[in-house]
Amino acid sequence: MKLTGAEIVLACLKEQGIDKIFGYPGGAVIPLYDALYDQREHFQHILTCHEQGASHAADGYARSTGNVGVCFATSGPGATNTVTGIATAYMDSVPLVVITGQVPANLLGKDSFQEVDITGITLPITKHNYFVKDVEKLADVIREAFEIAKSGRPGPVLIDIPKNVFLEKATYVEKKEVNENIRTSCVENNQLIKAANFINMASKPVIYAGGGIIISDASQELYSLATKGNIPVVNTLMGLGSFPRDHALSLGLVGMHGMKEANLAVCGSDLIIAIGARFSDRVIGVAEEFGPKAKVIHIDIDKSEIGKNKGVDLSVIGDVKKVLFELSNMIVNKDRSTWLEEIDTWRVKKELKEKSFKAVDILNCAWNVLGEDTIVTTEVGQHQMWTAQNFPFKKPRTFISSGGLGTMGYGLGAAIGAQVGNPEKNVLHIAGDGSFRMNCNELATVSKYNLPIITLLFNNQTLGMVRQWQKMFCNERYSETDITGEVDYMKLVEAYGLRGYRVDNIDDLENALNEAKRLRKPIVIECILSKDDCVFPMVPPGKPIHHIILE
């Protein structure tokens, strides 16, 4: 059957089971959107306010569902507006397929209107990208792009298509065989045997659990390994939710803003079992002092991560889910009560003041009202770290945040994608006022589609994380971090046709959250906080992670 290039794109998306698209039209993709007009019953297209919002929404959809997120953008500035979203996904191994329009082939290289070399620009931040010159090859390119995005260590793929290719016709043959097992890989049995021996011999092991566990849907296998071996678990930012935070073996976040017990457990361990984690600088601090007396096992699907930031004694390359399943059957049930009791002495007991209104109180209230199935997205800054430290995530794909790139302005777009992908769930978007201002235009998207996203806006009238560093390391020289009174957020929310509440006490917050839960409509709750509130624990930059500042 003969189809236009635009029709082939949509046909291939249907092959891949895609029914959600996030995007913004423009001249070079008009043929694609014209074809979409006839396919409206097959696709839900979310029109965002900006292409960056579309790319973040596709990312949030992918992280919350485990499916590939799809984003459309036009050529030139439309394409470049997706760059931050693509880089965010690349750093956190999120499967995206971004389809951009390009000027017609006969206008390439002539500084044509809205012409830009988007494949050149995105080469360092994609797993792969394509420039499609021949409509006959378009279907195979799209199929391959999805396979690359999902396989091995996932990531974003960009396909750049000139306008003439959208309009030209080619023979299309439907291909329904979609490889569902592309993450499966063979694991060397001798490496597994060695790993099991390391674990069985260890007296003070710790599991260092990263985002690869969630990507691989291996949370149950992690639980089996940890509970059978009585091995405590620390989590990276991306690994939160991979192991239930309320379990006795859970030590929480590790690293610069990690929990005291998590950091000290790593430093006092005799074996670190790193699973789907990349030994980020924000986690390990000084590499030589991250578990200085410990042997290190690194389990990962990406061979290039082995030894990149931290030397290892044993590597196991393969799909984390399969590796952990095999490993759980090979380790022994070992009593490690002495080690666990030692760790318990490091736990910091939180003393919450009744009716106080600090970040931890706000988060506890949100957890109590909204429950464990809530999907939480954050921006980047103090509120992100408070959330990571204090929200007791129990399930995978319930915490969505920019880890590697640290993208302010990410969270609202991600919340849109998460809500579209999980319409039955509560989605809570937690933002600082600095981050919120970067992409708050996407409130129009929330309003347009009546997405019942709850935004908790932490307003301390400052760029809080930068100010905290200035307070601690720059002699309180607060350079360009004050944003006092610049925006009336309640008027802004009203302008977008949404309901808003400004609260400064727990009772009002609880009432607002219950109202939001009851109405199932978008609501913004502005929480007034002090600009002097800081995130602790904290490890100073460049220091080992046992150099913990608690207050």
Render pLDDT for 512-521 as a digit per residue (tens, 0 to 9): 999 999 999 9
Q: Would you say residue 323 has pLDDT above 80?
A: yes
Fold designation for 359-528: Rossmann fold (3.40.50)
Is 150 one of the annotated active-site residues of the chain? Answer: no
Structure tokens at 44: 């839900």
Q: Write the CB contacts of 331 (distance below 8 Å, at least 6 apart in sequence).
A: 196, 199, 200, 225, 228, 229
What is the 8-class DSSP label of residue 312? -
For the segment 255-260, the average pLDDT, to the nearest whole number, is 98
pLDDT at residue 179 in the model: 59
Is the pLDDT assigned to residue 184 strictly greater than 60?
no
Complete DSSP assignment for 103-124: --GGGTTTT-TT---HHHHHGG
Q: Which amino acid is present at 399?
A: F
Task: Give pLDDT tens digits for 29-68.
Answer: 999 999 999 999 999 999 999 999 999 999 999 999 999 9
* Domain 2-171: CATH architecture, name and number where available: 3-Layer(aba) Sandwich (3.40)
| Choice among 15, 39, 43, 114 that is catalytic | 114
Q: CB neighbours of 117 closer than 8 A, spacing ≥ 6?
A: none
Q: Per DSSP, what are the bridge partners of residue 207?
A: 233, 273
Q: Centre a 10 Å sphere on the Cβ of residue 316 and count the other Cβ atoms it contains.
A: 24
Catalytic residue check, 136 = no
Is 465 annotated in the active site? Answer: yes
Residue 334 designated active-site: no
User: For residues 274 and 184, which has the higher predicted lDDT (pLDDT)?
Assistant: 274
Higher pLDDT, 93 or 182: 93
Start-end of H helices in 391-482:
411-421, 433-439, 443-448, 464-473
Four-point Cα dihedral 32, 156, 237, 65, nearest 10: 50
The one catalytic residue among 259, 385, 465, 538: 465
What per-residue confidence (pLDDT) applies to 187?
78
- The token pair at 123 is 């080469």
Cα-to-chain-centroid distance, residue 38:
33
CA distances, 524 to each of 292, 428, 429, 449 (Å): 46, 10, 9, 16
DSSP track, 222-288: HHHHHHHHT--EEE-STTTTSS-TTSTTEEEE-STT--HHHHHHHHH-SEEEEES----HHHHSSGG
- Is residue 180's pLDDT more than 80? no
Given pLDDT bands bounded at 50, 70 and 90, which one contains residue 348?
Answer: confident
Pairing of strands 271-275, 295-300: parallel
Q: What is the pLDDT of residue 486?
A: 87
| First CA to last CA distance, the chain | 68
Provide mean pLDDT across the span 281-310: 96
State the pLDDT at residue 221.
99
pLDDT digits (tens, 9 = 90+) for 531-540: 999 999 999 9
| Band (188; pLDDT cuts 50, 70, 90) | confident
Catalytic residue check, 147: no
Of 16, 22, 51, 458, the active-site residue reads 51
pLDDT at 349: 77
Residue 18's pLDDT is 98
In whole angstroms, give the CA distance from residue 155 to residue 86: 9
User: Is the pLDDT confidence value at 504 over 60?
Assistant: yes
Residue 183 confidence (pLDDT) above 60: no
Query: Residue 215: its pLDDT value, please?
Result: 98
Pairing of strands 20-23, 44-47: parallel
**For 189-228, how does the pLDDT look when each residue is reduced to its tens digit (9 = 90+)?**
899 999 999 999 999 999 999 999 999 999 999 999 999 9
Q: Please state, in angstroms and rounded to a whole number, the distance separating the CA atoms of residues 27 and 348.
A: 57
Q: What is the pTM of this model?
A: 0.96
Query: Which of 90, 13, 11, 95 lies closest to 61 in space, CA to CA?
Result: 95
pLDDT at residue 181, as a whole number: 53
Report the 10 Å Cβ neighbour count for 486: 9
Length of the chain: 551
Q: Which residues contact 209 (CB under 8 A, 6 or more apart)?
A: 222, 233, 234, 235, 236, 239, 242, 243, 275, 276, 277
Cβ–Cβ under 8 Å, residues 256 and 283: yes
Do the beta carbons of residue 14 and residue 143 sit within 8 Å? no
User: Confidence band (pLDDT; 50, 70, 90) for 176?
Assistant: confident
3-state SS track over 217-233: CCHHHHHHHHHHHCCCE
Q: What is the pLDDT of residue 186?
A: 66
Return the pLDDT at 444.
Answer: 99
Task: Name the CA dihedral angle for 26, 30, 35, 36, rounded to a multiple of 10 degrees.
Answer: 10
Of the candidates 163, 204, 321, 322, the residue annotated as catalytic is 163
Separation of alpha carbons 312 and 426, rounded Å: 41
Q: Which of 44, 113, 201, 293 is catalytic?
A: 113
**Do residues 504 and 527 lie in contact, with contact meaning Cβ atoms separated by under 8 Å?**
yes
User: In terms of Cα–Cα distance, which of 524, 517, 520, 525 is closest to 498?
Assistant: 524
In order of 25, 278, 469, the CA distances from 428 in angstroms are 28, 28, 27
* pLDDT at residue 118 greater than cutoff 90: yes
Q: What pLDDT, in 10s, does the model give residues 374-393?
A: 999 999 999 999 999 999 99
Which run of H or E residues covers position 149? helix 138-150
Chain CA centroid to CA 107, Å: 38
Comma-separated ranges of CATH 3.40.50.1220 domains in the chain: 189-345
What's the average model confidence in pLDDT over 328-344? 97
CA angle, 124 then 125 then 126, to 5°: 105
pLDDT band at 84 (very low <50, low <70, confident <90, very high): very high
Element holding 431 (H helix, E strand): strand 427-432
Tens digits of per-residue pLDDT, 225-238? 999 999 999 999 99
375-378, strands of its sheet edge to edge: 399-400, 375-378, 427-432, 453-459, 523-528, 499-503
176 in Cβ contact with 15 (< 8 Å): yes
CATH 3.40.50.970-classified regions of the chain: 2-171, 359-528
Classified by CATH at the fold level, domain 189-345 comes out as Rossmann fold (3.40.50)
Cα–chain-centroid distance for residue 40? 29
